[in-house]
Structure formats: structure tokens, C-alpha cells
Amino acid sequence: MQLNRHVFIRGALAAAAGTALNGAAHATQPVDSWKVDSALLYYSEQDRVSVTEPVIYATRQVNEDKSYTLHLIYDSMTGATPNGAAPSAQTQTITSASGGSLTVAPGKLPVKSFSDHREAFGIDWTNNTSRLVKRSSSLNVSKETDYASLGGNLSYSIDSANRMSTYTGGVGVSLDLVQPKGGAPVGMQSIAVTNTSASGGEGFSGERKNTVDLMIGTTQVLSRRSLLQINLAHSLISGYLSDPYKVESLVDTTGLPTGYVWEKRPDRRNANIFYTKWVYHLPEDVIHLSYRYFQDDWGIRSHTADLTYHLMLPRQLYLEPHFRYYTQTQANFYHTSLPDWQALPSYASADYRLAEMNSRTAGIKLGIPVGSDSEVSLRYEKMVQRGNEHPADAIGTQQSLNLYPGLNATIMQITFTTLF
């Protein structure tokens, strides 16, 4: 499977699931009751990746001050994803030391087929330690063919005496194992060489990746109809951060490939995030508007704007039109390809997720009440992603090729919420 690609898509689906489940009915859950939120998500990229992901959240409200949530996730992923090699004006054959071979037609983006699945389990605890203080903690584990993760977090929320403000602080830690079959390749080394930096795929062997997230934030009641949330977060990731399946093309002065090397990324990444969300409650409807700014020491700067309008209809039905816009700059070590007449750089990646790009997502959700304690919702969204098709550093015949083929994706989900 394509390790980091899988992580990326899981994040997108998890965000979609969270939006659906958190926005479901029964915002106030009675004491000594269970609320079960379940969703089936389907993500499909045209001519590339398809993901199916069922999700179940079960929340037990023990008393007015304490609750816990269990969640189970299974996802399966199949299709093809870019391996990092650049399109070429001639047929190219990419052969690795393991014996795998890929033949790509002229002008086509090199992609590799794969299939994988993941199982994940988590538990969250929430309890009020005093009248104004709430503590939340969680533990999460997941496993797939070549990746394992163990993580947890702890946060505190403190309300002001008049309940008009809430202040939040938290820390999260994730300990991951990257376990590609045969071991992780040595970065910037020819793919025809068999050297690996560690064995992988079984037990606790493999490459380590550690993440520490810190967050502070505040939520302020602006009026009886509106809320404003502001969060600041810092993330420190260290260890093996390369994708063990991505390669980088070496090309001659005409732009034709002469070889391929494994990508290599820095072993540390510091990121800062600013997030704000404004919620305005009209007499019947609700507006959710958010903005997120991201910057890291890899040179990536991104902006995300998200708008949802919760439109109430007769008989407790509702519609939620949704629009999201995302744009980012490229990482400072991103290269479509590398000239073979120059010394290799310390770091290089042709992963298109690290390139300059933008995406637009638009869709709609329909919520349907089922009795007094249940709800079904249906969501449909389309995403269009575009990048720089003709970058300035294109060499020779590459200048006439599309070096960043666009991506079109469809997201569908059905959610069922019930209380008992």
C-alpha cells in the first residue's frame, strides 16, 4: 500500500465522519443512556484510489459529570496511486531491486496498484473535575499491513464564572511504526540497490515516527446567537517521515529519465496551526464558518476556508450545503524530477501532496429524523484538486507535458444515530 497516501485519505475521511457524527441529533444526552453513531463512508478518486470505511461510535453517559466513548473503524483501500516518478515523453520502465517492474506510456503519470486495510480502536473519557473544569482523555490504536500506531491525548477545559468563555489546553502523543515489507529503503539511493535501513513488516521492527501535539484555545459567547472559537496548536514530528514507496526521477538535459532514486525527507517537522470558527444561530438555521492557517519548517503554507449552512426544513428535516477551499505552497525540497548531471540534494520528494496546489470541495447533506430518538443522514460531495501543470523547473521535453495531472474525487456517506 502507499503508506502516507493512506494516512492522508484517512484524515480526510475522519474529518468527514467527525462532521457528520458531531452534528447529529441528540446534542444533550440523557443520563444512563447510550448514543450510537455509525457511518459508512466511500471515497473514490477518478482512475485512482477507492476507500470504504465503516465507523461506529458508542457513547455512554454515566452521569451528569462523566461519559465515555468507544469507537471502532475498519477501512479498505484499493486502486492506484502516483509513485513519484515524473511523466516522460517516451515509454519508461521502472524496475526496483525487489524485481517489481512498471511500464508507463508516454505522457502518462506513473501509478502503482495496491490494496490494504486497517483496523482501529479507541476509547475517550470525559468527566467534570469541578463545576467549571472538564477533563478529556483518549487512547487509540490502529494496525495495517505496514503501519502501526499507538496514541493518546489529555485536555482540560475551564469555563469562566459566567459561562461566557471556555479556555482549553491539551497535549497529544502518537508513537508509530513504519513497517514496509523488506524494510525501508535508503533515501536518495538508486531503486536498483537493495540496501534498506531496517527490517520491517513484523512485530515491533521497523522505523519509528513520534508526534507530539500541543494546543491552547478559547471559545467565547459573543451574543445569544453567536460563538467564536480560536485555537493555536504546535506539532513536532520526528523519526522516519519519508514515504518508503515514493521515488524521484533522474532526467538528462532533454528531460528523458535516466534512473530513479528513493525519496528522502527531513527527519523532523515543526508545524504551527491557527484555527478559528464562527457559529451564528439564525431563528431556525445555523451558519458554521471556519478558517485554518498552517505553516511548517518544510516551507509549506496553507489556507483552508470552510462554510456550512444548516437549513431547517419542515418535519425536522434539514439540509447542509457545504463548501471548502484549500490552497498550499510547495515544500522546499519538492522537485518534479532531478537533473542527472548535478549532485543529488540532501532531501527530495516528488510526492504531489507536497507540491503547490489547491482544491475545492462542494456538497450537501440531508438529515432525516427517524422516530424521536434516531436520525439518518446522507452526504454527497465532489472534490477537485489542481496543481502547477507546467512548473518553471521542467527540463527539456517535460515542458510540453502535464506534470501535475488533476484529481477529481467523490465522497459519499450514510450516517445513522440512535439513542437508547
C-beta atoms surrounding 247 within 10 Å: 25
pLDDT at 117: 95
Q: What is the mean pLDDT of the chain?
A: 91
Lowest mean pLDDT among 30-34, 208-212, 408-412: 30-34
pLDDT of residue 8: 47
pLDDT at 18: 43
CA distance 160 to 149: 36
Confidence of residue 284 (pLDDT cuts 50, 70, 90): very high
Q: According to the model, what pLDDT value does residue 98 have?
A: 73
Q: Which residues contact 51 (CB under 8 A, 6 or more apart)?
A: 9, 13, 41, 42, 43, 44, 75, 76, 77
Q: For 7, phi and psi rounded to 5 degrees?
A: -60, -45
Confidence (pLDDT) at 26: 39
Q: What domains are there in the chain, each with its CATH number?
A: 3-419 (2.40.160.40)
* CA nearest to 103, candidates 92, 87, 89: 92
Q: Look up residue 89 and give its three cell numbers.
A: 515523453
Instruction: Answer yes or no: are the C-beta atoms of 266 and 240 closer than 8 Å.
Output: no
Res 139 pLDDT > 60:
yes
Residue range 69-98: mean pLDDT, rounded: 93
Residue 115: CB atoms within 10 Å: 10
**For 232-244, b where at least 16 C-beta lie within 10 A, e where not — what string?**
ebebebebbbbbb
Quote the cell numbers at residue 96: 526496483
Contacts 24+ apart (CB under 8 A), 138-142: 142/73, 142/118
Which strands make up the sheet holding 257-262, listed edge to edge? 257-262, 247-251, 338-339
Q: What is the pLDDT of residue 196?
A: 67
Cβ atoms of 132 and 158 closer than 8 Å: yes
> What is the value of pTM for the model shown?
0.91
How do residues 342-394 score in pLDDT, each as one tens digit? Answer: 999 999 999 999 999 999 999 999 999 998 899 999 999 999 999 999 999 89
CB 315 within 8 A of CB 356: no
Percentage, residues of the chain above pLDDT 90: 84
- Residue 29 banded pLDDT, cuts 50, 70, 90: confident
Residue 205: all three cell numbers together: 521492527
Q: Which three cell numbers stand for residue 97?
A: 531491486
The C-alpha cell at 3 is 503508506
Q: What is the pLDDT of residues 295-346, one digit of tens each?
A: 999 999 999 999 999 999 999 999 999 999 999 999 999 999 999 999 999 9
Name which of 279, 181, 184 is nearest 240 in CA terms: 184
- pLDDT (0 to 100) of residue 101: 87
pLDDT digits (tens, 9 = 90+) for 152-186: 999 999 999 999 999 999 999 999 999 998 889 99
Nearest-CA neighbor of 211 among 144, 296, 146? Answer: 296
